[in-house]
Amino acid sequence: MTQIEFGALLDAIPEAVIVADHTSEIVYANTAVEGLLGWSPSELVGSSLHSIQPDRMHDAHDRGFRRYVSTGTKTLFDGPIHLPARRRDGTERDVELSLAEVADADGTPLVVGVLRGATEQVDLERHIAILRYLKATTAAHTRLWTKVDPSVVLQTLTDVLVDDFDAALARTWIHDPETNTLRLQTSGGITTRIKGSTREVIDIATSPAKVAVVAREREPFIRVGLGGNPAFDQEFVARERIVSVIALPLVAGDQLLGAMVGFFRHAIPDEVAETIGHLAALAAATINDARLVAQEREAREEADRARGHFELLARVSERLVSSLSAEVSAQSLVDTVVPDFADWCIVDLVTDGPSLRAIASRHADPRVADHIAELRATYPPAEDEEPPHPIHRAISEGETVWESVEDGDLAARARDPRHLELLRAVGIGSHVVVPLVGRGAVMGAISFVRSASRPPFETDDVATAEDITRRAALAIDNAQLYRSAEQAVALRDRFLAVASHELRTPLSVVRGHWELLGRRLAAEGSDPDTQRQQLEASVRRLGQGIDQLQRLVEDLLDADRLRGQAVDLKPTELDMTMVVRETIEDLHDPAMRDRVRTILPDEPVDGVWDRARLAQVIGNLIGNALKYSPDDGNVEVEVTTREDVVRIRVTDSGIGIAAEQLDAIFEPFTRAPNAAAQHYPGLGLGLAVSREIVMTMGGRMWAESPGEGRGSTFTIELPRRPAAAAEAERAAP
């Protein structure tokens, strides 16, 4: 056969045939080459084999070819191999290549390559890629159960597009439903700039970018041949020799989750595009799963927290109602909340004075108890502290205080180094202080404290603390009501016992003398002088009895009127010495009057007081002093002044008062045992009423005695001008 015939024969077969010499130069190509790769035979002949190879394969080709030429090793000659070929337009296509060796007329070896399009092979490779992707996704899926993070899925998708699908550039965005924007999430492959799509956030509604269009319309966009397409940055397309693009929305159900874009330097066949579509759908489903898992976990955690909240409340309620004592209720409350809910819990009640009364406290660490005791004894929360103490803040504002506490806060609150040491030892990381409100008034506060080593209180913890405190307030209020009801009943019983006894004595005196009077008036013929003397005696005894009755009734009325409300005062300018003198003169019995000695300043002791009330108090003290002394015992009344305070002391040499009774005798219906035992008449009300009056006047009153049988001294201190005194007190630092 001639050479021409040989060429015509080769042109007649459908496979592309290319012959190269030992320098890799193409010496022959048949016409089928043009159909497969787009080059005409004349263009190829004389050029290097590199022309039909992707750049990245040049090195490998050169190495293999050199080895073949120098050693005769024919690694690739055993059977058809699959590899990408470069077409004239720069795109790649996979081909099946079979190699053979022939010798030319000079005996120089030539390499003959037969090339066939290999789409089936592409499918297989893509399937392997899918398997690889599935594996990666499964791994990501597993990771998602422990750490919910859609970015892991999107990173995987990007990696697969670049590594397995040879994307030049792959990018993913995540959808933010609130702003309806796409946020760039991952980027893989070349890092070159693309005009118009480097923005991190893309507005879906308005952006002309392809990825926004895809997200907006929820339709995939696939295009081969981007040259001249104005929707894409032509400079980028030319520089990176981009041939095709695929842009897909990431959708699960009817929810848009994000979008992805892949740029390729080769054409993407339909099947590959379809496969990428599957991958995207799988990624979207995984992201959605991850979201659902996250939501479910959140819901479960919330349900757990809610259950914990209700269980705790149920336990607290159960224990609160088990007692009618405020202290016992509060202690069972703190025992229930520590250590599960708080590391330290303390229940404080407000008192009549400036200090708080802690009725229950517990710390998770029993070793801290001593520190707390010292803290409360030496540095009790004070009302005027700066910065204000959280407990007083909660009480004065009637609102929950919820804050985390830094070491700096402790330092600011500490009054001295030891204070700071104690605060640190107790360990306060965060606290919730809730006011205890019962029947409209703040009764105190409960402080829930967590140490710094533990997560601080959160919103729902505050709700729990408030619920607990509300229940505690009810229980404590009930306990206090119960106690005061109990006290009221006891008081009434005592009153009935004392009153019936005490009223009977003067009443029988009055009745006896009244009868005697009647009999004597009816009697005839007795000596008028004797009769007159007897009548006078009866009238005197009647008067005494009526006096006693009147005093009792007044005390009772006073006690009743004063219960729970302040005394109504009518202050006027007075001289204290005059009030004392007149009070003594008002004593009915001259013998009594004679027993009272006064030590008064020479000058008048002026002041503004309610005259009647003052006389009532002084009269009460003088009356008691006379009553509780032997018939010949003297009573001394002394008035002294010191700056703006007037002091009245009434001293007797009577039955005295045992030390432990000195405070008790000021309680209503309370009498010292020695007074009752020796049958001195009395209701145990006078001192209670007197002290109430003195306190309303801004003064104070107390009793002293060296002991039973050794006399007593009662002292009253009164400001001269209560209003001015009160003002001065307020102005004092």
| Interface contacts to ligand ADP, rule CB under 6 A | 624-625, 628, 652, 654-657, 665, 671-672, 675, 682-688, 712
- Rounded to a whole number of angstroms, the minimum distance from the CB of residue 578 to ligand ADP is 24
- Rounded to a whole number of angstroms, the minimum distance from the CB of residue 675 to ligand ADP is 3
Which two tokens mark 542?
């009647």
Q: What is the DSSP letter of 322?
A: T
- Rounded to a whole number of angstroms, the minimum distance from the CB of residue 481 to ligand ADP is 27
Q: Which is nearer to ligand ADP, 32 or 675 (CB)?
A: 675
- Rounded to a whole number of angstroms, the minimum distance from the CB of residue 598 to ligand ADP is 17
- Rounded to a whole number of angstroms, the minimum distance from the CB of residue 623 to ligand ADP is 8
Phi, psi of 632 (to 5 degrees): -100, 5
- Rounded to a whole number of angstroms, the minimum distance from the CB of residue 717 to ligand ADP is 18
Q: Which is nearer to ligand ADP, 197 or 705 (CB)?
A: 705
> In sequence order, which residues have a C-beta less than 8 Å from that of residue 255 and are 6 or more positions away?
288
Q: In one letter, which amino acid is 702?
A: W
Classify residue 586 as exposed, middle or buried by CB count within 10 Å of its CB (0-12, 13-18, 19+): exposed
Closest-approach residue to ligand ADP (CB): 682
Contact between 697 and 721 (Cβ < 8 Å): no
Q: Which is nearer to ligand ADP, 392 or 671 (CB)?
A: 671
Q: Which residue has the tokens 């009269």?
A: 619
Q: Quote the CA–CA distance of 277 and 378 in Å, as a whole number.
A: 74
Which two tokens mark 706?
């060296």
Q: Which residue has the tokens 């600011």?
A: 412
Q: Which is nearer to ligand ADP, 480 or 696 (CB)?
A: 696
Q: Which is nearer to ligand ADP, 435 or 684 (CB)?
A: 684
Q: Which is nearer to ligand ADP, 261 or 672 (CB)?
A: 672
Q: Which is nearer to ligand ADP, 16 or 689 (CB)?
A: 689
CA-nearest of 284, 240, 278 to 258 is 284
- Rounded to a whole number of angstroms, the minimum distance from the CB of residue 392 to ligand ADP is 36
Burial 631-662 (b: 16+ CB within 10 A, else e): eeeebbbbbeeeeebbbbbbbbbbbbbeeebe
Q: Quote the CA–CA distance of 66 and 707 in Å, as a whole number.
A: 126
- Rounded to a whole number of angstroms, the minimum distance from the CB of residue 312 to ligand ADP is 49
Q: Which is nearer to ligand ADP, 163 or 704 (CB)?
A: 704
- Which helix or strand (DSSP H or E) is residue 578 part of? helix 576-585
Distance of CA 196 to the CA centre of its chain: 46
Which two tokens mark 537?
């005696």
CA-nearest of 591, 687, 607 to 639 is 607
Q: What length is written for the chain?
A: 733
- Rounded to a whole number of angstroms, the minimum distance from the CB of residue 497 to ligand ADP is 13
- Rounded to a whole number of angstroms, the minimum distance from the CB of residue 550 to ligand ADP is 14
Contact between 320 and 332 (Cβ < 8 Å): yes
Q: Which is nearer to ligand ADP, 348 or 652 (CB)?
A: 652
Report CA-CA distances (Å) from 61 to 54, 68, 79, 464, 612: 10, 10, 17, 74, 125
Q: Which is nearer to ligand ADP, 28 or 628 (CB)?
A: 628
- Count the helices and strands in the chain (H runs, E runs): 22, 23
Q: In one letter, which amino acid is 381?
A: P
- SS3 sequence of 673-724: HHHHHCCCCCCCCHHHHHHHHHHHCCCEEEEECCCCCCCEEEEEEEECCHHH
Q: Which is nearer to ligand ADP, 221 or 702 (CB)?
A: 702
Q: Which is nearer to ligand ADP, 438 or 682 (CB)?
A: 682
Q: What is the DSSP letter of 388?
A: P
- Rounded to a whole number of angstroms, the minimum distance from the CB of residue 485 to ligand ADP is 24
Contact between 391 and 403 (Cβ < 8 Å): no
- Rounded to a whole number of angstroms, the minimum distance from the CB of residue 610 to ligand ADP is 20
Radius of gyration over every alpha carbon of the chain, rounded to an integer in angstroms: 53
